[in-house]
Amino acid sequence: MAKKNPLNLNPLQLKTLTLLQELARLIDRPAEGEEDGKVVDQFPHAHGNHFHLGDAVVATADATGLGNPAVWLALERKGMIRGDFPRSCVVTPAGLDYDTGLRDTILHRADH
């Protein structure tokens, strides 16, 4: 059985990676260069206590890592992203494939 969270990402890093994975999926722009991955250079703007990612609603409390340079550095150090904080990042293939276990927890979708 595979270990859950093998890189020992902390809760804020896991939430941030989950959001970056979803943004990469929605933007769907391949990175240029020698390494594959997806470019993320568009970030959501909150209205009140939430923002929208595609058909999902995300609590701003779950997204504080998007604006935290230490979180980006940790994700970069662990090979999940290549960052240019706060403008953009490339979510690496390892980052795209990493199972954070939080997708259904922080991406709230309507039941209809």
Decide if 6 is inside a domain.
Answer: no
Q: How many helices (H) and strands (E) does the chain have?
A: 4, 7
Domain count across the chain: 1
Q: What per-residue confidence (pLDDT) applies to 33? A: 77
> How would residue 2 be classed by pLDDT, with cut points 50, 70 and 90?
low
| Domain containing residue 87: CATH number | 1.10.10
Decide if 95 is inside a domain.
Answer: yes
Task: For residue range 66-75, list pLDDT tens digits in order.
Answer: 999 999 999 9
Where residue 32 falls (left for φ over 0; alpha for ψ -120 to 50; beta otherwise) is: beta
Q: What per-residue confidence (pLDDT) applies to 47? A: 87
Decide if 102 is inside a domain.
Answer: yes
Q: What per-residue confidence (pLDDT) applies to 45? A: 87
Decide if 53 is inside a domain.
Answer: yes
The encoded tokens of residue 54 equal 């595609």
Decide if 5 is inside a domain.
Answer: no
Q: How does the average pLDDT of the chain come out, rounded?
A: 93
Decide if 2 is inside a domain.
Answer: no
Q: What per-residue confidence (pLDDT) applies to 112? A: 44
Distance separating alpha carbons of residues 84 and 54, to the nearest angstrom: 23
Domain range for residue 43? Answer: 11-109
Distance separating alpha carbons of residues 18 and 25, to the nearest angstrom: 11
**2-12 mean pLDDT:** 92
User: Which pTM was predicted?
Assistant: 0.94
